[in-house]
Amino acid sequence: MIGLSKRSRYAVSAIREEDLLAEKLRSEGKAIIKLNIGDPAAYFPTPKYIIDAYIEALKKGHTDYSYATGIPELRKAIAKKYRERHGADFSEDDVVVTQGVSEALQFINNSLIDPGEGAVLFTPYYAPYLSYLKLSGGEVVEGHYREEKNWDIDIDALDERLRSGKVKRHLKYLMVTNPNNPTGTVLGRKTLESLVNLSNDHDLMLISDEIYDEIVFNGANFTSIAKLAKGTPHMIIHGASKCYDSTGFRLGFVIVPGEDKASTDVKRSLRDMANLRLSSNTPAQYAIAEGLNNAAEHRKAIGEMVKRIEGQVNFAAQEINRSRFMKTAVPNGAFYIFPRLNMEKLKVKDDKEFVQKLLAEENVQLARGSGFGAKDHIRIVALADRETLSTAISRIENFCERHSKREA
């Protein structure tokens, strides 16, 4: 019998799981407010200077395979950005260009994880981290961001657990997202330093997903792991999707700065993975090299985008916190809001039922928190304008009222 692999069931996406229902509702003439996917290019046109560079690359005939690890111009531009902006020290030879961070996650897990081994993810985590880990046969060991501490990481609890001897599987890496999706938290320098120490103490490769590094606001400061982890095996994953407003280009970067044995081995393996799939999108690489090198145009574009996002996030968080059915910490990075639902006041079974019924009844599409490892939460993408966000939040509030338990 031709059957699917057992692993294939791990390819689940909480972010897109209501897409079929949304499509059906749309075909019935319903206008859906789509706040389930973090796609800036759907709200902010990709900057013209990047589009022009893409067209120019096509006209110059850059439609062939590039080097598997990416064009040198782009890898150099990434090393330059990290040197100038984040005080990191690595060369273009330490960079592998991928088809989005999504492909980078596939490469990393294929390179590091054997069936039965594990990795540390902090809940709530970006949902695909878990899927890619499990698709490689790995298992998660959960650390936690603490909601009551404004989503800071609880390092001591994880350290204690790892020292207790109760975790039997061989752990390979520890993954952190900064700024965070889904909570929008920007981690402070002290927390990041503790993570470096923790990774050293437990012999883990420290991986920092910094795809939102320039989308930081409300006075927060971003520090790259690359600045703090010199001498510790570490990797940075990043990409063009968010800060260069080009999700559809499908470009990501993996940076492995160290020269220690673990880093050197991983770098070689990532190159092997890249060779296997020949190339990432060639003209898009030229466009994003221009995006990185044209500092003046980039500053203007990202400055305007972050200003609008800051206003929208703060507005939506304030509206949400007026509700008796949900509560959120105010984010200071990325563009997500992650409210906790007050389930005691609601007649819905769980966050999954909440998002399904909300879409069907109020035509607002969100993602469920349990898909990010945090039940009783919903994730709202705050990229739409204030008017749309305001309408969506009113509809969520109507939905909650309609499904509320009667007070005794």
Ligand X SMILES: Cc1ncc(COP(=O)(O)O)c(C=O)c1O
The nearest distance, CB 100 to ligand X, in angstroms, is: 3
Phi, psi of 306 (to 5 degrees): -65, -35
Helix %, strand %, coil % of the chain (to 5)? 45, 15, 40
Q: Does 211 bind ligand X (CB under 6 A)?
A: yes
Selection from 100, 15, 146 nearest residue 281 by Cα: 100
The nearest distance, CB 149 to ligand X, in angstroms, is: 20
Which range touches ligand X (CB under 6 A), out of 47-55, 75-83, 239-247, 287-295? Answer: 239-247
Which range touches ligand X (CB under 6 A), out of 99-107, 161-169, 185-193, 224-232? Answer: 99-107
367: helix, coil or strand?
Answer: strand
Q: Does 102 bind ligand X (CB under 6 A)?
A: yes
- The long-range contacts involving 90-93, CB below 8 angstroms and separated by at least 24 positions, are 90/226, 90/255, 90/257
Question: Between 184 and 257, whose beta carbon lies closer to ligand X?
Answer: 184
Which range touches ligand X (CB under 6 A), out of 5-13, 41-49, 94-102, 389-397? Answer: 94-102
Q: Does 122 bind ligand X (CB under 6 A)?
A: no
Taking the C-alpha atoms of residue 334 and residue 223, their distance in angstroms, rounded to an integer, is 14
Q: Does 177 bind ligand X (CB under 6 A)?
A: yes
Site size with ligand X, rule: CB under 6 A: 13
Q: Does 252 bind ligand X (CB under 6 A)?
A: yes
Taking the C-alpha atoms of residue 246 and residue 240, their distance in angstroms, rounded to an integer, is 6
Residue 334 backbone class (left: φ over 0; alpha: ψ -120 to 50; beta: rest): left
* Alpha-carbon 227 to chain mean position: 20
Which range touches ligand X (CB under 6 A), out of 100-108, 138-146, 150-158, 386-394? Answer: 100-108
Using CB atoms, what's the residue nearest to ligand X?
100
The nearest distance, CB 312 to ligand X, in angstroms, is: 17
- The encoded tokens of residue 284 equal 């898009």
The nearest distance, CB 182 to ligand X, in angstroms, is: 8
Residue with tokens 């001591």: 156
Question: Between 162 and 301, whose beta carbon lies closer to ligand X?
Answer: 301
- The encoded tokens of residue 54 equal 């893409």
The contact set with ligand X (CB under 6 A) reads 38, 100-102, 126, 177, 181, 209, 211, 239, 241, 247, 252
